[in-house]
Chains A and B, each alone.
Chain A
Amino acid sequence: MTIRHEMIPERPAPIRTVGPIAWLRANLFSGPVNTLFTLVGLYLLYVLLAPTIQWAFINADWVGTSRDDCSREGACWVFVNARLGQFIYGLYPGSEIWRVNTVFASFAALIAWLAIPRLPAKRWVAIATLLAFPVFAYVMLYGGYFGLRVVETHRWGGLMLTLILAVVGMVAALPIGILLALGRRSQMPIVKSFCVVFIEFWRGVPLITILFMASVMLPLFMPTGVSVDRLLRALIGITLFQSAYMAEVIRGGLQAIPRGQEEAAAALGMNYWMRMGLIVLPQALKMMIPGIVNTFISLFKDTTLVMIIGLFDLLGIVQAALSDSRWLGFALEGYVFAAFMFWVFCFSMSRYSQYLERKLHTGHKR
């Protein structure tokens, strides 16, 4: 009999229970039926992906300046490449593009500042973003002050226009939506009925109708010689439409807050705005993050509807580029590019909202 004084050293777990092989066995090949499904799935994936990759990467043309550089065997990204500037800035004059870039960069910086938790002075940055930045962006993009050349809105387009429509829509719709939601729950009959009528009216008509009315009918009601900018008309339409949706999302959140919360706040002597601003809304908005972001994402994609009133958003400028007689027949490439850009933005919004949810998670989830 031997006595061993030292411990037997740790050995790695058997290869069949950990690591990629074990994962494959447990998840993909755990029985004959699952194995069959896995193989069928892999085959389908191959059938679908192989030609796509072949088209998009292997046979694709990447460099060149005209349609003659395209072999037509695969995707011709030369088209997207040649038009990239236009897809991003629309018909904005080339010499003035630095202005758009400045606005993009400062917006990204402000958002990053607000999104990264460690950075200080959030309150002031938020105020600057909401109040000073729009003025700055307007002056930079439109011009007319400080010797900047005026760039009229009919030259705006592409990703820049999509972002302007979406950001203005979101930023303006949220506060209006909150007010409408509170108004709809109010005891005051006039306020309440105004909010109900407003919400139900704007929610009851399709966005495309609103844009169409704004673009076709509105000019006829205006006095002679007065014309409101097309972009502004679209912005107002989108904002009103979106705030009605936002109001209902937020009202859903307000309903979920137990009545006791408000009553307790009232018992502490808080007035209406304090009760709402300090007790009810912070809880409600936190719960409604998925709903709010959902509305934002759908707004972001709805901005493509401005195409029907002749504004060239990202999708519109892609379509306009497709009708250049020098670049006919690259519809697939153009649409794939537009879809990819939209996906990037929507996916980023979705990820940020998930992060926000985790960060604000204080045990309200069940």
Chain B
Amino acid sequence: MRSDNKNKLVLLTSAAALTLGAASLASAQTLEATRDRGAVQCGVSDGLPGFSAPDDTGEWRGIDVDVCRAVAAAVFGDAEAVRYISLNAVERFTALQSGEVDVLSRNTTWTTTRDTTLGLNFTGVTFYDGIGFMVNRDLGLSSAEELDGAAICVQSGTTTELNVADYFRANDMAFDPIVFDTSEQTVGGYEAGRCDVLTSDTSQLAALRIQLSDPDQSVILPEIISKEPLGPVVRQGDDQWFNIVKWSLFAMLNAEEMGITSDNVEAMLESEDPDVARLLGQDGNYGEGMGLSADWAYQIIKQVGNYGESFERNVGMDSPLEIERGINALWTEGGIQYAPPIR
């Protein structure tokens, strides 16, 4: 669902921004500035279901928001010490380059151009997104390979359209594209029965599914046919801050792998397992290298939870979106989420 033109505009403004000398800012010590301010400035989206949106009480919630909270927990020991700044797709990179935000955690796809030409660094992947298919349950389909000859509702002018065409050509299948201008119209077309299949990024599909008059009548097929790794972004040139954001996510992943949750983290402090002891700061001080205290990971897990908790709470089965873990499961459970060890 990412429009090409928009992408060009983003790149253009961001590249212009870079030449205007924003790079000089990157050497500033982000950690110090953040400490002086007393809050992490975190760029989030202006509303994306499950990723970042204000809830009924006005608190930001979502899997992207949890990254901000994890960084704040690691730096301050207080997950609430975050200043959320909502950014739209066009201004997100300039906001980061100009120092308006310290971390950009806004469903941003990691691509070569963004990583290498904008003076930015991606710190990891919080959610492996990609184009998926939603079909009517009555069709009895279980795989995208069975979609030969299907009528597919797709939004025009997006990379989705091109990727779907590529996928069908590569698999030597035919399809009949039914093209709409907006995502609402696309859903309307699917609901009116003009097509058998609705296609979009899987995270979007889940949000669109809830809005159908009978959500249970539609299923999302397991295949993801394109790569849209979404992750947090920081400015280039401040490696310490880069490490903090990177390892905040790794700590959450490692915690899930070791079975540490926000509920049992207190008990785990007593654990004999050397991996757990290192992660929770009971054995050695692995926060020191990042300028953090020894209990940095403990604070993240205690206040934000492990990656699995964050996933289930925001986009997974405990949320209305009900997205399957799929490739976002840990490497030990058939997914590709993997974090280097703490040692």
* In the complex, residue of chain A having the shortest beta-carbon distance to the beta carbon of B46: A310
A94 contact set on B, CB distance < 8 A: 57-58
B217 contact set on A, CB distance < 8 A: none
Convert A215-234 into 0s and 1s, putting 1 for each residue whose CB lies closer than 8 angstroms to a CB of B: 11101111011010010000
Find out whether the CB atom of B86 lies under 8 angstroms from the CB atom of A216. Answer: no
> Chain B nearest CB: distance from A227 CB in Å?
6
Find out whether the CB atom of A323 lies under 8 angstroms from the CB atom of B28. Answer: no
* In the complex, residue of chain B having the shortest beta-carbon distance to the beta carbon of A85: B58
B58 contact set on A, CB distance < 8 A: 85-86, 90-94
Interface residues of A in 169-226 (CB under 8 A from B): 212, 215-217, 219-222, 224-225
A324 contact set on B, CB distance < 8 A: 47, 49, 53-56, 61
Number of A-B contacts (CB under 8 A): 114
- Measured in the bound complex, the distance between the Cα atoms of B58 and A222 in whole Å is 31
Q: Does B84 contact A (CB under 8 A)?
A: yes
- Measured in the bound complex, the distance between the Cα atoms of B211 and A291 in whole Å is 44
Q: Does A319 contact B (CB under 8 A)?
A: yes
- Measured in the bound complex, the distance between the Cα atoms of B85 and A227 in whole Å is 14
Q: Does B25 contact A (CB under 8 A)?
A: yes
Find out whether the CB atom of B99 lies under 8 angstroms from the CB atom of A225. Answer: yes
Of the 9-residue stretches B88-96, B154-162, B194-202, B301-309, which lies at the interface with chain A? B88-96
Q: Pick the residue among A86, A221, A230, A329 that contacts B56 (CB under 8 A).
A: A86
Find out whether the CB atom of A227 lies under 8 angstroms from the CB atom of B54. Answer: no
Find out whether the CB atom of A325 lies under 8 angstroms from the CB atom of B320. Answer: yes
Q: Does B321 contact A (CB under 8 A)?
A: yes
Find out whether the CB atom of A310 lies under 8 angstroms from the CB atom of B88. Answer: yes
- Measured in the bound complex, the distance between the Cα atoms of B94 and A320 in whole Å is 22
Find out whether the CB atom of A310 lies under 8 angstroms from the CB atom of B86. Answer: yes
Find out whether the CB atom of B54 lies under 8 angstroms from the CB atom of A310. Answer: no
> Chain A nearest CB: distance from B218 CB in Å?
14
> Chain B nearest CB: distance from A91 CB in Å?
4
Convert A312-335 into 0s and 1s, putting 1 for each residue whose CB lies closer than 8 angstroms to a CB of B: 100011011111111011010000
Interface residues of B in 212-245 (CB under 8 A from A): 213
> Chain A nearest CB: distance from B85 CB in Å?
6
Q: Does B11 contact A (CB under 8 A)?
A: no
B28 contact set on A, CB distance < 8 A: 224-225
* In the complex, residue of chain A having the shortest beta-carbon distance to the beta carbon of B94: A216
How many residues on the A side are at the interface (Cβ–Cβ under 8 A)? 43
Of the 9-residue stretches B16-24, B121-129, B164-172, B328-336, which lies at the interface with chain A? B16-24
Find out whether the CB atom of A220 lies under 8 angstroms from the CB atom of B97. Answer: yes
Find out whether the CB atom of B94 lies under 8 angstroms from the CB atom of A325. Answer: no
> Chain B nearest CB: distance from A67 CB in Å?
8
Find out whether the CB atom of A152 lies under 8 angstroms from the CB atom of B83. Answer: yes
Find out whether the CB atom of A325 lies under 8 angstroms from the CB atom of B22. Answer: no
Find out whether the CB atom of B83 lies under 8 angstroms from the CB atom of A319. Answer: no
- Measured in the bound complex, the distance between the Cα atoms of B222 and A37 in whole Å is 58
Contacts A219-B94, A310-B88 given: A325-B47 contact, CB under 8 Å? no
- Measured in the bound complex, the distance between the Cα atoms of B172 and A282 in whole Å is 78
- Measured in the bound complex, the distance between the Cα atoms of B88 and A216 in whole Å is 11
Q: Does B282 contact A (CB under 8 A)?
A: no
Q: Pick the residue among A224, A225, A319, A329 that contacts B211 (CB under 8 A).
A: A329
- Measured in the bound complex, the distance between the Cα atoms of B87 and A316 in whole Å is 12
- Measured in the bound complex, the distance between the Cα atoms of B19 and A48 in whole Å is 56
- Measured in the bound complex, the distance between the Cα atoms of B57 and A84 in whole Å is 11
> Chain A nearest CB: distance from B134 CB in Å?
15
- Measured in the bound complex, the distance between the Cα atoms of B43 and A216 in whole Å is 14
Q: Does B50 contact A (CB under 8 A)?
A: yes
Find out whether the CB atom of B47 lies under 8 angstroms from the CB atom of A319. Answer: yes
* In the complex, residue of chain A having the shortest beta-carbon distance to the beta carbon of B86: A310
> Given contacts A320-B53, A325-B314, could you give 19 more A-B pairs where the C-beta distance is less than 8 Å?
A94-B58, A212-B90, A212-B91, A219-B99, A220-B22, A220-B94, A222-B98, A224-B24, A307-B46, A310-B46, A310-B88, A317-B54, A320-B54, A320-B86, A324-B47, A324-B61, A325-B210, A325-B320, A331-B184
29 A-B residue pairings within 8 Å (CB atoms)? A86-B54, A92-B58, A154-B86, A216-B17, A219-B99, A220-B97, A224-B99, A227-B99, A310-B46, A310-B86, A310-B87, A310-B91, A317-B54, A319-B46, A320-B54, A320-B86, A321-B53, A322-B47, A323-B47, A323-B49, A323-B207, A324-B47, A324-B54, A324-B55, A324-B56, A324-B61, A325-B210, A326-B320, A328-B207
Task: Show the binding face of B for A, using Cβ within 8 Å.
Answer: 13, 17, 20-22, 24-25, 28, 33, 46-50, 53-58, 61, 83-88, 90-91, 94-95, 97-100, 184, 207, 210-211, 213, 314-315, 319-321
Leading 10 A-B pairs by shortest Cβ distance = A323-B47, A329-B211, A219-B98, A320-B47, A325-B49, A91-B58, A310-B86, A323-B53, A328-B210, A324-B53
